[in-house]
Amino acid sequence: MVTYPNLDNLTGDGIGELLALPNSSYPFYWVLIMVGIWVVVTLSLYFREKESVGKENILSSMAVAAFAIIMLSTLGTLFNILTLETFLPLLIGGLVIIAIWIFSN
C-alpha cells in the first residue's frame, strides 16, 4: 500500500516543507502558479503602458514579467519549493522571451 504525504508526515523543518507538499501530488503545481503570476504581471504592465504612454509593447511587458518569474523561481529553488525539473522550464522560457525582446529592438 502506498502512503501519500499529508500533514501528518511532515517533520517540522519549516514552511518550505509545507509549501513543497503540493509538488508530491502534482509535480508542476508551482509551475502553473508561476505561469499564472507571469500572465497577470504581463497583462498588468501591458495595459498600464497602453493607458499611460499610449504606445504599447507586449514583448517588453513579457520580458519584464519573465525576469520577475526567473527571480521568483530562483528563490523557490533555494527554499526547496521548486525542483530542478520544474525550475528549468521556467528559466529557459524566461530567457527565451528576454532574448527575443533584446534582439528585436
Determine, yes or no, domain membership for 2. Answer: no
* Domain encompassing residue 93: 7-104
pLDDT band of residue 5 (cuts 50, 70, 90) is low
pLDDT at 73 over 80: yes
Mean pLDDT across 72-100:
92
Point out the least confidently predicted range of 11-25, 43-57, 65-79.
Answer: 11-25
pTM (two decimals): 0.82
- The predicted structure's pLDDT at residue 43: 95
Structural domain count of the chain: 1
Over the stretch 23-47, which tens digit does the pLDDT of each residue have? Answer: 777 888 889 999 999 999 999 999 9
Residue 69 falls within a domain, yes or no? yes
Residue 26 maps to a domain = yes
Backbone φ, ψ for residue 91 (5° rounding): -65, -50
Q: Would residue 1 count as lying in a domain?
A: no
